[in-house]
């Protein structure tokens, strides 16, 4: 082997090693969150209980609340979403429902029909239907907010069904802590046991919500809005610059823009709102790709804002940057795999070293993921998941992550050989499960 090829092989091996260290660090942050969760859980749950015990004022003094339900070609599921909003326990003269429909199929007529029916029953329901989808969901939320003077906005994706007491429960923290930007309820699921894919999503989202979101709230770290099942305060939306439609993760974007301006949020572990999980792999992969792309976009946008802020403590900056760095998982993994394979091809003598690094990194990732998933599911569901069932979920999780990386690679390769395209919001289809 020439000196040049040997040097190149060593350089590629070094890149592979750096990528292994970065991935180990990223996934290790989840293990840190588990440890922090156990340390803060007692005080965090006690604070949540105290906030939810805050008395509401008499009905005559309650604020107006606008329920916003974005939809796009959702079919008959829009009726269920609209009717669940109308069932919310809140003074009728102070409950306002906006159906934000950008549909291009027969859903548009369904939305107009259900809005008309609910108005006939005495509810304040409007169908806001745009002639174009500028800004997608973020654009729809922005335009709808301009059409009402009220200060509180409860946002639900069309497939989520809030319990009737949702507003009575989730509005309480605003009276205890008026500077709360938003109150985020926990996702629950309508079809968690439909198949192995939905089982895996249930466990994964339980970990995200029960460990990541709850712990961020308790620790005072940035708490990302999950896009649905939450109530925003107008002042916080405006302080963050309003909803924007130039990213497909408008929820994360607004969260961080408001956070750097000093607004903080609350996550409620005890309030669950059931919604629909994607039940086929193709739909789920598209959803994951959209989330990954949006996460990276917001991360690059917010890195400079966080670093230059003079009001955020160094510890809070570190927590925010660590969270946003998770968006680099896929690129780092892709670079690491490519570098490792090329190094092995150029210098077979390096294979034992490369393989050792891979095994150590994979074992660490598997340990952290297992601990994280079990801790979150057990916290939310209140019991140990059977080992055999968890093994299937873990295999599905590892396979799913590999599939998202492969799909991401295909997407990026395709982009190299095609003209740049504008950001497109690729919605997750709803079946009305």
108-156: per-residue pLDDT in tens? 999 999 999 999 999 999 999 987 777 788 889 999 999 999 999 999 9
The predicted pLDDT at position 188 comes to: 95
The predicted pLDDT at position 407 comes to: 61
The predicted pLDDT at position 249 comes to: 78
The predicted pLDDT at position 273 comes to: 97
The predicted pLDDT at position 50 comes to: 97
β-sheet bridge partners, residue 183: 231, 266
Which tops the pLDDT comparison, 166 or 257? 166
Listed in sequence order, the residues at least 6 apart from 371 whose beta carbon sits closer than 8 Å to its beta carbon are: 30, 31, 34
Residue 418 confidence (pLDDT) above 50: no
269-281: per-residue pLDDT in tens? 999 999 999 888 8
Residue 424 confidence (pLDDT) above 70: no
The predicted pLDDT at position 284 comes to: 81
Q: pLDDT band for position 420 (50/70/90)?
A: very low
The predicted pLDDT at position 97 comes to: 98
What percent of the chain has a predicted confidence (pLDDT) above 90? 56
Q: pLDDT band for position 408 (50/70/90)?
A: low
55-109: per-residue pLDDT in tens? 999 999 999 999 999 998 888 789 999 999 999 999 999 999 999 998 889 989 9
The predicted pLDDT at position 283 comes to: 82
The predicted pLDDT at position 281 comes to: 82
Q: Residue 188 in contact with residue 272, Cβ under 8 Å?
A: yes
The predicted pLDDT at position 415 comes to: 47
How far is CA 314 from each of CA 27, 214, 321, rounded to the nearest angstrom? 22, 21, 10
Distance CA 244, CA 225 (A): 14
Output the DSSP codes for 256-276. HHHHTTT-EEEEEEEEEEEEP
| Average pLDDT score, the chain | 88
The predicted pLDDT at position 187 comes to: 93
Q: pLDDT band for position 427 (50/70/90)?
A: low
Mean pLDDT along residues 186-192? 93
Q: Residue 322 in contact with residue 27, Cβ under 8 Å?
A: no
Q: pLDDT band for position 433 (50/70/90)?
A: low
The predicted pLDDT at position 128 comes to: 93
Q: Which residue in 158, 173, 237 sits closest to 433, CA to CA?
A: 158
Which tops the pLDDT comparison, 33 or 256? 33
Q: Which residue in 47, 65, 69 sits closest to 56, CA to CA?
A: 65
Q: pLDDT band for position 343 (50/70/90)?
A: very high
The predicted pLDDT at position 345 comes to: 93
Strands 230-233 and 152-155: antiparallel
**Helix residue ranges, H only, 146-265:** 166-170, 172-176, 196-207, 214-219, 234-239, 250-259
Please compute, for residue 50, the number of CA atoms within 13 A of its CA located in the half-sphere on the CB side.
Answer: 8
The predicted pLDDT at position 260 comes to: 86
Q: How far apart are the first and last CA of the chain?
A: 61
Q: pLDDT band for position 347 (50/70/90)?
A: very high
For residues 335-347, b (16+ Cβ closer than 10 Å) or e, as one string? bbeebbebbbebb
Strands 124-129 and 65-71: unpaired
Q: Which residues carry out catalysis?
A: 102, 251
Mean pLDDT along residues 334-355? 93
The predicted pLDDT at position 205 comes to: 93
Q: Which residue in 154, 307, 324, 121 sits closest to 227, CA to CA?
A: 154
């Amino acid at each position: 082997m020439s000196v040049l090829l040997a040097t190149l092989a060593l350089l590629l091996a070094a890149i592979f090693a750096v990528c292994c260290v970065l991935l180990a660090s990223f996934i290790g942050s989840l293990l840190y969150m588990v440890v922090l969760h156990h340390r803060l859980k007692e005080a965090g749950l006690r604070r949540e209980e105290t906030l939810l015990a805050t008395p509401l004022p008499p009905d005559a003094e309650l604020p107006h609340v606008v329920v916003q339900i974005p939809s796009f070609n959702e079919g008959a599921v829009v009726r269920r979403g609209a009717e669940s909003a109308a069932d919310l326990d809140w003074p009728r003269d102070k409950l306002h429902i906006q159906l934000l429909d950008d549909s291009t199929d027969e859903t548009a007529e369904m939305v107009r029909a259900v809005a008309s029916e609910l108005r006939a029953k005495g509810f304040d329901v409007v169908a806001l239907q745009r002639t174009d989808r500028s800004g997608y969901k973020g654009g729809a939320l922005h335009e709808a907010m301009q059409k009402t003077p009220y200060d509180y906005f409860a946002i639900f994706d069309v497939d989520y069904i809030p319990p009737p007491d949702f507003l009575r429960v989730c509005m309480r923290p605003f009276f205890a802590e008026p500077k709360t930007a938003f109150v985020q309820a926990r996702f629950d699921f309508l079809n968690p046991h439909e198949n192995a894919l939905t089982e895996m999503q249930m466990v994964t989202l339980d970990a995200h919500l029960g460990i990541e979101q709850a712990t961020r709230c308790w620790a005072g770290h940035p708490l990302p809005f999950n896009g649905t099942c939450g109530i925003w305060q107008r002042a916080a939306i405006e302080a963050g610059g309003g909803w924007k439609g130039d990213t497909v993760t408008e929820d994360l974007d607004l969260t961080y823009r408001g956070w750097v301006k000093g607004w903080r949020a609350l996550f409620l572990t005890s309030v669950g709102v059931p919604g629909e999980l994607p039940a086929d792999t193709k739909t789920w992969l598209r959803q994951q790709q959209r989330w990954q792309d949006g996460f990276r976009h917001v991360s690059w946008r917010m890195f400079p804002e966080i670093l230059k802020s003079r009001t955020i403590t160094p510890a809070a900056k570190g927590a925010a940057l660590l969270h946003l760095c998770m968006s680099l998982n896929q690129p780092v993994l892709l670079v690491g795999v490519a570098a490792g394979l090329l190094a092995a091809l150029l210098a077979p003598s390096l294979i034992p070293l490369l393989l050792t690094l891979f095994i150590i990194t994979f074992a660490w990732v598997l340990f952290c993921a297992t601990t994280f998933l079990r801790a979150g599911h057990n916290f939310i569901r209140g019991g140990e998941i059977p080992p055999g069932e968890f093994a299937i979920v873990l295999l599905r999780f590892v396979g799913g992550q590999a599939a998202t990386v492969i799909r991401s690679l295909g997407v990026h390769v395709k982009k190299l050989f095609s003209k740049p395209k504008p950001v497109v919001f690729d919605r997750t289809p709803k079946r009305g499960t």
